A and B are shown apart, each in its own frame.
Chain A
Amino acid sequence: MTKPIAHPAVQFRSVAKRYGAVAAVHNISLNIERGTLVTLLGPSGCGKTSTLRLIAGLEHPTSGRILIDGEDVTHLSAAERDVSMVFQSYALFPHMNVLENTTYGLLASGMKRALAEQMAAAKLTAVGLAGFERRLPSELSGGQQQRVAVARAIVLEPKVLLFDEPLSNLDAKLRRKVRDDIRALQQELKLTVVYVTHDQEEALAVSDRIVVMQQGHIVQDGTPRDLYERPTDRFIADFIGNANLLPVAVLRCDGDTAEIALGGATLHLPCRGLGVGAALLAVRPHAIRIADPSGRPFGLSGRIRKAAYLGGHMEYEIAINGVSGEVFVIDGNVMAPRQIGAEVDITIVTDETALVPA
């Protein structure tokens, strides 16, 4: 109680985790602020789950320090840390009913059964499982099992709540709802949440902040908007939002604006610290607009290579004249689809486009 509020909920000070010669996490430093939902995002094997387990105390760092609420917990076991985790498999105890599962942590901490059951019942109501207290986990659906896992974790009122790929065992329809439920619960209870996923859309939807990891390193750390609109490198641009990466030449930098050459066209973009020379242009699939060929001498043109009708939109692969490779384009006009082989004029919406280092 005497501690000042200024401490971040979780602090990593150059934490590394090695398994023999293999490093799962390289010297990462990270602050997670109280009451925020921070997502660790990355492809499988990037170290995000190891990082989560380091916070939980299920793994211990090879070097560095971990602080929770300003207190050094580096050498504390999982049982001694004020952290709860919702596992990918939910890890409900199969021999205990819903109420017993939910009171487990409270009883382990020595609380009286009557009080524990009262608190557990309140949390079960909060996750919409009132009336299911006497059911066994095997008698619940996947979504209900997950809500029990959440109730079991939040009833302890942990300083940090961890989610390890919580949606991966749910079907596609349920995912969006559960995702929204988790976010709503986090905001309502002002929980500090660390959330691990490999799904960039999920990360964009729930997070206050996203930490993108690759091969045990943090490659970018920012708000969803930062990551989407201002990726720092080609990996992020590709991983988040599936951008087309086009080789371009930066011709000039006037203050903040760069003049670049792409194929036969010239574009003006924020230069973001890049100098004159080769660079990559990260173009989102919906930032490429196509139109009937006008025969104009300037600008970009191309030819449709592939076309797919997806109901709500069309997906094209287009070869741009003078640019190597093909670009992936999403176009809203489904009423008059382009034919394969058709010539089109191409405009790039520079507001949704960013320069990244080659």
Chain B
Amino acid sequence: MVLPWIVLTAAIYGIIMIGGFVKAIGTDNTPTWSYFLTAFGIGQGDHGWYFAGSAWNSLFTTLKVALVAMPLTAGLGILTAYLLNRQRFAGRGLFEFLTMLSFAIPGTVIGISYILAFNTPPIELTGTGLIMVMAFVFRNMPVGIRAGLANLSQIDKSLDEASLTLGARSAATLRRVILPILRPAVVTSMVYAFVRAITSVSAVIFLVSGEYNLATVYIVGRAEFGEYGLAIVYSAVLIVIIVAALLAIQLLVGERRIGRRDIMARRTPNAEQAKA
């Protein structure tokens, strides 16, 4: 059962990686750099090197938007999770429900809503990079919130209290105790925010403009015109970029260091209590 799936998956990714470097995959498998150079060519003019390829503009916009949206999404998500889990206030349940709402609404609906909301003064944002960042932050924040909540509910409140009684104030407690333990949630949230900002189409297809085009929308456009070679080569580049970014995030933020999990499960007081 498993083997056919592996073969199928490998074939799909293989076609994407190869498809952009042959004339027309399946019918004319002559290797070619022409699609890659059309999209990602670098020219030399009078004033030095410049990005000649047609895809550069949308790729840079995409990366910029994704890099801005990533920390905002993770930060707001984790902060919201902290408020929901550790603070008591009126309407907390409703607030928690509302944070999930942007997940339930179809992306195209969100896109149109943003256009309708921000198309007229005083807040005229349609066609800017900011509206895309906003759309991504609010669309992808629920994952950060859920990851944060799941993580926080495992951190007993007595850890906060222990830190307080040891003389560390709330800010120091957050920085030295809560955030380090929340690292997995931060990583999850950042990875998700970054990848979704690069790969999603539906929410932003109505938000792009001539100045601010995004990679996915560009690919959809190429495919619509039958320029599959360009679309596929761009997809291959996106895959490489995302894999590189995931590795970088993993290295930068790192994995939580809490020791051997099996020992932990066996020896925590709670586990012992459960046994007794």
Q: How far is the CA of A58 from the CA of B257 in the complex (A)?
A: 29
Chain B, range 163-221, C-beta contacts under 8 Å to A: 163-170, 172, 176-177, 180-181
Per the 8 Å Cβ criterion, residues 241-276 of B in contact with A are 256-260, 263-264, 267-270, 272-273, 276
Query: B158 on the interface (CB 8 Å rule)?
Result: yes
User: Which residues of chain B are near A136, meaning CB under 8 Å?
Assistant: 258-259
Interface size class of B (residues with CB under 8 A): 20 to 34
B158, A87: Cβ atoms closer than 8 Å:
yes
One of A91, A141, A171 near B158 (C-beta < 8 A)? A91
When chains A and B are docked, how far (Å) is the Cα of A156 from the Cα of B163?
13
Check if B159 is an interface residue, CB within 8 A of chain A: yes
A141 with B162, Cβ < 8 A, contacts A79-B168, A136-B258 known: no
Question: B161 at interface (Cβ–Cβ under 8 A)?
Answer: yes
CB contact between A139 and one of B169, B170, B177, B259 (< 8 Å): that residue: B259
Judge whether A94 is part of the interface by a CB distance below 8 angstroms.
yes
In the complex, A44 has a CB within 8 A of chain B: no
In the complex, how many angstroms separate the beta carbon of A107 from the nearest chain B beta carbon?
9
Contact of A85 among B162, B169, B177 (CB under 8 A): B162
CB < 8 Å neighbour of A79 from B158, B169, B268, B273: B169
Partner of B272, one of A108, A140, A142: A142
If the complex has contacts A95-B257, A95-B258, A156-B167, are A138 and B263 also in contact, measured as CB distance less than 8 A?
Answer: yes
CA–CA, A81 and B159, complex, Å: 17
Cβ–Cβ contact B181 & A95, under 8 A: yes
A77 touches B156 (CB 8 A): no
- Which of A58, A108, A140, A169 contacts B161 (CB under 8 A)? A58
CB-CB under 8 A from B272, the residues of chain A are 142, 169, 171
How distant is A98 from chain B, measured CB to nearest CB, in Å?
12
Q: Nearest chain B CB to A86's CB is how many angstroms away? A: 9
Name which of A94, A104, A145 has the most chain B CB atoms within 10 A of its CB.
A94
A94 touches B258 (CB 8 A): yes
A105, B161: Cβ atoms under 8 Å?
Answer: no
Is A91's CB under 8 angstroms from B161's CB? yes
Is there an interface contact between B165 and A57, defined as CB atoms closer than 8 Å? yes
When the two chains form their complex, are residues A84 and B166 in contact, meaning their CB atoms are under 8 A apart? yes
A138 contact from B164, B267, B276, Cβ within 8 A: B267
Q: How many residues of A are counted as interface, with CB atoms below 8 angstroms from the partner's CB atoms? A: 37
A152 interfacial contact with B, CB 8 Å: yes
| Cα of A58 to Cα of B27 in the assembled complex, Å | 73
Q: Are A156 and B166 in contact (CB under 8 A)?
A: yes
Contact with A108, one of B156, B159, B167, B259 (Cβ below 8 angstroms) = B167
Cβ–Cβ < 8 Å partners of B260 in chain A = 138-139
**Please, which residues of chain B bring their CB within 8 A of the CB of A77?**
164, 169
- Chain A residue nearest in CB terms to B256: A95
> Please, which residue of chain A has its CB at the minimum distance from the CB of B161?
A58
CB of A40 within 8 Å of the partner chain:
no
A176 to chain B, nearest CB (A): 16
Determine whether the beta carbon of B267 is less than 8 Å from that of A141: yes
Extra contacts besides A85-B165, A104-B176 (13): CB < 8 Å: A58-B165, A78-B161, A89-B158, A89-B270, A92-B162, A105-B166, A105-B168, A108-B167, A108-B176, A137-B259, A152-B166, A169-B272, A169-B273
Query: What would be 16 A-B contacts, judged by CB atoms less than 8 Å apart?
Result: A58-B161, A77-B164, A85-B162, A91-B159, A91-B161, A94-B258, A94-B264, A95-B180, A95-B181, A105-B168, A108-B166, A138-B264, A142-B269, A152-B166, A156-B166, A169-B273
Measuring CB to CB, which residues of chain A are less than 8 angstroms from any residue of chain B?
A: 56-58, 77-79, 81, 83-85, 87-95, 104-105, 108-109, 136-142, 145, 152-153, 156, 162, 169, 171
Residues of chain B whose beta carbon lies under 8 Å from any beta carbon of chain A = 156, 158-159, 161-170, 172, 176-177, 180-181, 256-260, 263-264, 267-270, 272-273, 276
